[in-house]
Structure 1
């Protein structure tokens, strides 16, 4: 049995009766996978922003200066991009008839919208409203999750059977 199948069985174990009446299995799997990926994202973001970047502006040469909250996002993003794609492809939407490279390309396009959404929200919450970066990232991620679910279900992994 593959790791993906074992992980799917573990997730499905927690799909108990009260949840069955509220959420379809596919949505439950997506929520668990997305929650795990979001937790990883927030943990990595927190560690990078506070300890690795030490809340300091990141200078790239003498021309470009990147604020620490944006730099942390840019560093963490590629890691959670690939873990998110793997979880979506193999757990939440594993029944999609689309080929892997098509899924990856569509996932990349939909994530492009998430990047823009994340960037604009972080700029708004941190620089305009004046909220702390880590809570701002958490709120931004919650907004992005709704957008991402719709894009994954109806675009990136379209045609996936709900109960596989």
Structure 2
């Protein structure tokens, strides 16, 4: 399975890198790949969010009997596992391929950083929808922009650290 994922990752890398030339002077390849794969995953997230919010949940409160969930939060909870999975595989096999950490460590760290993203998503969605009175999809878009900044820093410097950076960090301690 890992070989298949690596081959798919290589194909995606080749495709993404084909568009890199105009940005060569301005962006490191890793940041370009992060922007490309993160952008695709973000579009998937927003599209799925809109579909689930509008057409599956139908903008209604989801009553589970023991808890009632607002439609904007329910849509987020449904979409999250899908984009978590695609985001991890794109980050691991396309963007941060130089990381020498074991996959299970990366996955655990990814889970931690995404936990921070979930918390920020929840706080910002609640704030924009319930306190600012904004439309849910627009609120999700603004929330996503804010969370992207946090996400890149956390993934680059924590989740997918490279071996050289780990050694340098240990030597400084």
Runs of 4+ in 1 over 2 A off after TM superposition: none
Instruction: Give the structure, 1 or 2, with the largest relative contact order (CA under 8 Å, sep 6 or more).
Output: 1
* Distance in 1 separating the partners of 2:75 and 2:163: 34
The answer on 1:9 being equivalent to 2:18 is: no
Note the C-alpha offset of 1:160.
6.8
Q: TM-score under structure 2 normalisation?
A: 0.90
- Unaligned runs of at least 5 residues, structure 2: 1-5, 165-173
Among 57, 63, 77, the residue aligned to 1:59: 63
Among 23, 33, 37, the residue aligned to 1:33: 37
User: Can you list the C-alpha shifts for 1:99-118, whole angstroms capped at 9, x where unaligned?
Assistant: 00000000000000000000
Q: TM-score under structure 1 normalisation?
A: 0.94
Note the C-alpha offset of 1:22.
1.1
Among 119, 133, 138, the residue aligned to 1:135: 138
The answer on 1:124 being equivalent to 2:127 is: yes
Higher helix share: 2
**Aligned length, in residue pairs:** 159
* Distance in 2 separating the partners of 1:107 and 1:2: 22
Superposed CA RMSD: 1.2
- Unaligned runs of at least 5 residues, structure 1: none
